[in-house]
Amino acid sequence: MSGFMRLLRRDLLLAWREGGALGTALGFYLVVVALMPLGLGPDLNLLSRIASGILWVALLLAALLSLPRIFETDADDGALDVMALGTLPLELVAGAKSLAHWISTGIPLAIMAPVLGVLLNLEVRAYPLLFATMLAGTPAISFLGAIGAALTIRARRGGLLLALLVLPLYVPTLIFGITAINAALLSPDGFAASFLILSAISLVSVVLGPIAAAAALRTQME
C-alpha cells in the first residue's frame, strides 16, 4: 500500500472515529436551510424558484465549517512535521488530506442536499440535477479549501480569516452549479455546458489546490 493510500485511510478512519466534524456540518446545513422558509414566508413558488441557490450557498457555508480540520489537528499535534519527512511529497500529502475531506464531508453534504430540497419545495425533476452538480462541484470546495486551511494553521481562531480567503474562490463553482440546474429546468439540453464547466473547475482545483496548499504548509512550518 502506498503512502498516499495509507494517509487517506488514516484520515478517513479519524473522520469516522471523531465524527463530530461531519455531524456539525450536516446539522448546520439542516438548520440554515430550515430557517429559510421561516424567514421568507410560506410562498411555495418563491421557495421553489430560489431553492437551488439556497441549497448551494448553505452547502458552501457548511463545508467551510469543517475545512480547518484538514490540517489543523495534524499541525497541532506535530504529525504534519513527521509527515513532511516521508517519501510522499507534501503536495500528495495535501492531496490525500483534501480527498479525505471530500469523501468524509463533501459527499455526505451532497447526499443530504436533495433531502433538504423537500423543505424548500424544490421541483422533483431538479433532485437528480442538484445531486449531480453537487457531486461534481464539491471536490473544488475541498481542494481549494485546503489552500485556505493550510494558510491558517498557525492562526488561532482562524475560522473567519479562512472564510474570507476561501469563499471568493468558490464563486465560479457556485455560479456554474446553479446555472446548470436552472438551465436544465428550462430546456433539456441546457445542462451540459454549465455542468462541464463545473466539472472542469473541480478538476483544475484537484490539480492546483494541493500544489498551493503544500507551498503554504512549507512556509507555515518554518
Partner 1 sequence: MQLFVANLVVARGGRTIIDDLTFDVAGGEALLLTGRNGAGKTTLIRALAGYLRPIAGSVRLDGFDPERDVREACHYVGHLDANKASLSVMENVAFWQGYLGDGGSGTAAGDALWAALERFGLDALADIPAAYLSAGQKRRLSLCRLLVARRPLWLLDEPSVSLDAASTVLLADVIGEHVAAGGIVIAATHLPLGLGAARELRLGEQVAMS
Among 13, 35, 115, 160, binds partner 1 (CB under 8 A): 13
**Binding segment (CB under 8 A) for partner 1, from list 10-18, 40-48, 103-111, 123-131:** 10-18
Distance in Å, CB of 140 to partner 1, minimum: 28
Q: Is 20 in the site for partner 1 (CB under 8 A)?
A: no
**Binding segment (CB under 8 A) for partner 1, from list 70-78, 120-128, 161-169, 200-208:** 70-78
Q: Is 156 in the site for partner 1 (CB under 8 A)?
A: no
Closest by CA position to 192, among listed 176, 207, 205, 208: 176
Q: Is 78 in the site for partner 1 (CB under 8 A)?
A: yes
What one-character DSSP code corresponds to residue 106?
I
Could you give the C-alpha distances from 172 to 50, 51, 79, 144, 218, in angstroms and in order?
Answer: 18, 19, 34, 12, 28
Q: Which three cell numbers stand for residue 24?
A: 456539525
**Binding segment (CB under 8 A) for partner 1, from list 4-12, 33-41, 42-50, 190-198:** 4-12
Please name the amino acid found at residue 89: P
Please name the amino acid found at residue 43: D
Could you give the C-alpha distances from 75 to 89, 155, 219, in angstroms and in order?
Answer: 17, 11, 13
Q: Is 91 in the site for partner 1 (CB under 8 A)?
A: no
Question: Residue 203 belongs to what H/E stretch?
Answer: helix 191-221
Q: Which is nearer to partner 1, 3 or 190 (CB)?
A: 3
Among 27, 86, 128, 168, binds partner 1 (CB under 8 A): 86
Among 44, 79, 160, 192, binds partner 1 (CB under 8 A): 79
